[in-house]
Amino acid sequence: MRNFKIIKTSATSFIIELDINTLSKNDQIMFFGKEYCKISTIEKVKYVQKHDYEFKLDLLVHLDLDIRYKNLKKGEYPVLIIKDKVHVLLTLS
């Protein structure tokens, strides 16, 4: 998975934007829990972070995020699908 964009939304959160057309079948299953074509229009989609993750300082600085918040906690994060783009909103703590 190489084609993505980071969009900063606040000092502690950002969106990972992915193009659905560039996601492999495995990437789709990783993000949605199933293939994209099998998601119903009324289904609420969440991204599941299985483990806590600590961002490195240089990445936080590069993304212009608050360096006091470097942890992405395990849990569910909202996913929004807009046309052919997937937005995953991640918030650091």
**Token pair for residue 41?**
């229009």
CA 12 to chain centre: 14
Give CA–CA dist 29/81, Å, rounded. 15
Q: Model's pTM, two decimal places?
A: 0.85
Full residue range of the structural domain in which residue 87 is found = 4-91
Domain count, the chain: 1
Give CA–CA dist 17/37, Å, rounded. 18
Q: What is the pLDDT of residue 2?
A: 61
Give CA–CA dist 2/24, Å, rounded. 11
Q: How confident is the chain (93 residues) per 10-residue block, as mean pLDDT?
A: 85 94 87 84 87 96 96 94 90 97
Cβ–Cβ under 8 Å, residues 73 and 47: no
